[in-house]
Amino acid sequence: MREKIDTILQESKSFEIKSTTDLENFRLKFLVKKGLVNQLFQEFKSLDSEEKKKWGKELNIFKNSIESFFNEAQNELNKNTTDSEGRSENSFLPGYYNELGSRHPISFVMEEMSQIFERLGFSVATGPEVEDDWHNFSALNFPSNHPARDMQDTFFVDEDIALRTHTSSVQVRLMEKGELPIRSIMPGRVYRNEAISARSNCFFHQVEGLYIDKGVSFADLKQTLYNFVQEFFGANTKVRFRASYFPFTEPSAEMDIYLGTETESDYKLTKGTGWLEILGCGMVDPNVLENCKIDTKEYSGFAFGLGVDRIAMLKYGVKDLRTFFNNDKRFLDQFAGL
């Protein structure tokens, strides 16, 4: 027994461990169930009681010595194999897998729209999502008890405080500063107390725009929106304007693009007409300008508002609006690298 112990000890100490492969070979030779150390313990079981008393302690010291040598070699290898952040590159541990992140498709569309208007000379303005009655309603020609307030179901925080129902409130804040001319867009999230379905949600995103200067006309509004559509949807996109009503613009219009009815999805999306409404617009109502202390005899302006979520649905062929906000990783992974 002594000779076998000394032989294995000597063999273990002379074993060169310079890599994780060497370390694994050492473990397989000495420490696994069929290794040399365990073979001695199997022989130990066949000894008589007197022999067991003699060699029991020796074998335990022998085993601890082999295991200590293995652990020291493993620690030394770990010290010498670290990544750029100092983490151990231990071959016995799972590797680090860094997934490629991506922007959310709504953010991507909002950014793309903003970049187009910035190239047309518009700056970007932002404002609070919790607004007072004046900036969200009254200054925009929504007097108290005005029936137009029923057009927007509101989340009220207090009697005169609510989650903004449109980013038009940012327009009011810009006009109140009196720094004319104004040519800005207002991207952001808005809230309305609506039923959640495949085509509507209690929150959504808008990119609104405002241009105020001397001599601004409806022709300027149309040309600005034509340029946007041609750049975002394509140069050959057909466009039409329809008369509409908004409390803060007069005259007001809605703008449609032509998708056609050739596919079943386009037929359903346009309700068989081929036309899809993408924004509302109009000349800023003189009452709104006067509320913000702007001289209506000298200045005029136009405003417009686009629904980002609907355009994102159109761009990516998404049928259900809720898909954008369910945090389904399988869906979001499709946009990695955008």
Domain positions in the chain: 2-80, 105-335
Residues 6+ apart with CB under 8 A from 275: 240, 256, 257, 258, 259
The CATH number of 105-335 is which of 3.40.50.720, 3.40.50.280, 3.30.70.270, 3.30.930.10?
3.30.930.10
CA within 13 Å, CB half, 264: 1
Q: Which one-letter DSSP state was computed for residue 156?
A: B
Computed over every residue of the chain, the mean pLDDT equals 86
Q: Are strands 123-124 and 182-191 parallel, antiparallel or unpaired?
A: parallel
Torsional sign, CA 128, 129, 134, 137: positive
| 295-331 confidence digits (pLDDT tens) | 999 999 999 999 999 899 888 888 888 889 888 888 8
| 38-95 confidence digits (pLDDT tens) | 888 888 788 887 787 787 788 888 888 888 888 888 888 777 655 555 555 555 566 6
Flag whether pLDDT at 190 surpasses 90: yes
> Is pTM, for the whole model, over 0.85?
no
Could you give the CA distance from residue 221 to residue 224 in angstroms, rounded to a whole number?
Answer: 5
Single-letter amino acid, residue 206: Q
